[in-house]
Amino acid sequence: MTSRPARTARSRPAPAGRPGPRGPGRIAATLRARLDAGGRERGANPVELAVMMPAILVLLFGSIQVGVWFVARSTALNAAQTAVNAQRTFDAGPDAGRAQAITFLRRSGDWLVGWDRNGPTCVETAVDVTCTVRGRSLSVVPGVDFEVTQTAHGPVERWTTG
């Protein structure tokens, strides 16, 4: 024979002298009592959400925009480094770095926009190469975009006397 679990206060039947409604109206009365318990605070949660939602959305899209700006900076820096690596090689052509940067930027997507207006620039001296890529970050929030400028620098490969 299996033993039955002990009854708790919730599982015991109501005592005969217990006040309150009995029968099918008991559930409706309980719900009405819970709704009346809120008093003046009833409906405050939707109002609080309506007030806070614009601030939450601004923070959400602002953080996404900052992330997009960081990706645009990374794209510009990688393009500049690619240009320096191509331009600094021994006997590289005068526009080898610029061409490599343009190829990189065309393949990298639209994270950096407006780079093609001025294009990447490379300045070569007898001992070093400096390449700069300029553009603007992609805009997630309408009307908000950030300027991006990244520069890479490296020595030119050359013959020296030892």
Which helix (H) or strand (E) element contains residue 80?
helix 44-87
Whether residue 22 has pLDDT greater than 80: no
- Whether 122 is in a domain gets the answer yes
Q: Which two tokens stand for residue 22?
A: 């009995």
* Res 32: pLDDT: 75
Is there a domain that residue 5 lies in?
no
- Evaluate if residue 134 carries a pLDDT over 90: yes
Q: Hey, which residues does 148 pair with through a beta bridge?
A: 135
**Within a domain: residue 12?**
no
Does 39 have pLDDT greater than 70? no
Asked if residue 162 belongs to a domain, the reply is no
Does residue 83 have a pLDDT over 90? Answer: yes
d(C-alpha 117, C-alpha 77), whole Å: 17
Q: Establish if 112 belongs to a structural domain.
A: yes
CA 78 – CA 95 distance, rounded (Å): 17
What's the structural domain count of the chain? Answer: 1
What angle (nearest 5°) sits at the alpha carbon of residue 142, between those of residues 62 and 71?
Answer: 55
The beta strand positions in the chain, using DSSP E, are 112-113, 121-124, 128-137, 147-155
Q: Model-level pTM?
A: 0.69
Residues spanned by the domain of 138:
45-155
Please report the pLDDT score of residue 126 as a whole number: 87
Backbone angles phi, psi at 130, to 5 degrees: -130, 125
Percent of the chain with pLDDT over 90: 50
pLDDT in tens, 50-67: 889 999 999 999 999 999
In a domain, 37, yes or no: no
**pLDDT band (50, 70, 90) for residue 128:** very high
In this predicted structure, what is the pLDDT of residue 132? Answer: 96
Q: Is residue 24 part of a domain?
A: no
Q: What is the CATH number of the domain that holds 70?
A: 3.30.1300
| Region of poorest pLDDT, from 18-22, 85-89, 97-101, 141-145 | 18-22
pLDDT-based confidence at 48, cuts 50/70/90?
confident
Q: Does 36 map to a domain?
A: no
